[in-house]
Every structure is written in structure tokens, then in C-alpha cells.
Copies of this chain bind each other. A is one copy, B any other.
Amino acid sequence: MIEAAERQLASSSDHEIATRAVCEAVGVSQPVLYRLFGDKRGLLDAVADHGYERYAALKAAQERTGDPVADLHAGWDGHMAFAQANPALYQLMFTPRPWSHSTARDRVTDLLVAALTRCAAAGALKLEPRAAAQLILSANIGTALDHIARPALFEDPAPSRRMRDAVFSHVLTETSARQDADPLRTAALRLRAQLQLGGIEALEPVETALLQRWLERIAQP
């Protein structure tokens, strides 16, 4: 019945379900639903918790590559992929509902805390795991909801990657590998911004123009 509800939730255009339709799809009548879940809210909570099971299974299948920081990155991307694959379920799980008793979000937080604790064990964490988890999860949900609102965004990996880098660089200690990821490009971008901001006396105008074009070439991915 939970799965029927989830299917109807995914196929409905307004992300709503009708208890009647769910019962008919399963072949029972309404009172059994109210006997099992007590309420429509109860059914939705059960759907959300079931969604967490799928989410946790996805996580368990992909995590633990040995490098906890790499696992963290994969976890972020997996979260976004889950949101893209199940938009309605995702909103049910991660959007605040005033009366929800679902523990989906808390349990996802616990998963994230565990992953972050592994990072902390490797000496890669600047904040305490719970605070870091709250930060990362909020950013991840915010980005995913934005992408759900405008699904075209899923095509471009840049926004998600930017947010991921912003949050992780604030939470993780700067390992030499991450620090040297692409310092050349950032330096080029910085110099180009300075050139555009103010003039430059050390070079001739023609040289400045050529330098600009070179910097653009350096800065391009």
C-alpha cells in the first residue's frame, strides 16, 4: 500500500494523493487505511520513511571507498541524483510539513553524521560532526529543491558542484590535494578581475589586451 501511495505520488501532477485511489489500487477499502495508518498524515509519514529506506540502501551501496572525503563528495552527488529521480518523494521527505512525524530527515542526518565522523577520524574535519552535518544537509536540500523547481538545472552540474565545494571547503580541513586542485585557474581569474577593475601601467594597451585573452584561456575549464 505504501508503494502504491508512492507511485501515485510520483505520477500525480500536483504531488498529492487521494486515500480512495490508494485503497482502490491495492484492492481494499478506506477503513483499512485508517486502521493501518490512522490518518492521511500517517500514510504520508510511512511513505516518507519508506523513501528513507530506499535512500539508505542507495547510500549503503555506494559508500566506503576508503577515502572518507571522497565518500562525502559521492554522498552529495548521490543525494542530488536521488532528488532528481524522485522529486515528489524528495519533497515529501525533506520539505517541512507542520504535523509530520516522519523521521526521514533525522535519519538522513544520522547517516551524514556517521560519514562525517569517519572524516573526523581521518583528521579532515574542522567542525564538530553534527554541526557540519546540519550545514551540509541544509545546503544539499536547498540546492536540490532549487533543481526540482527548475529541472533544467539538473543538466548543468556546475551549480551543485559550486555549492558542494563551498560548503565542503568550509567544513573540511584543506588537504594538500584539495588546496592544489586548480590554484592556477583561481589566480588567473583573480588577476583578470583586477585588470578589469582598474587600469594597468606596467603594460602597453596592446599587451594588456593580449594578456586578457590569455587569462581567459587559462581560466576556461
Residues on B with beta carbons closer than 8 Å to the beta carbon of A202: 214, 217-218, 220
Given known A142-B140, A211-B211, contact A135–B166 (CB-CB < 8 A): yes
User: What is the total number of copies of this protein in its complex?
Assistant: 2
Interface bin, chain A: 35 or more
B134/A159 in contact, CB under 8 A:
yes
Interface string of A143-173 (1 = CB under 8 A from B): 1011011000000001100110111011101
A117 to B184, CA, bound (A): 25
Chain A's interface: helix, strand, loop or mixed, by majority? Answer: helix
A115 to B183, CA, bound (A): 28
A66 in the interface (beta carbon within 8 A): no
Residues on B with beta carbons closer than 8 Å to the beta carbon of A190: 126, 173, 177, 187, 190-191
A141 in the interface (beta carbon within 8 A): yes
Surface stretch bound by B, among A49-57, A69-77, A93-101: A93-101
A-side residues, CB < 8 A to B, are 13-15, 91, 95-96, 98-99, 105, 123, 126-127, 131, 134-135, 137-143, 145-146, 148-149, 158-159, 162-163, 165-167, 169-171, 173, 177, 183-184, 187-191, 193-195, 197-198, 200, 202-203, 207, 211, 214, 217-218, 220
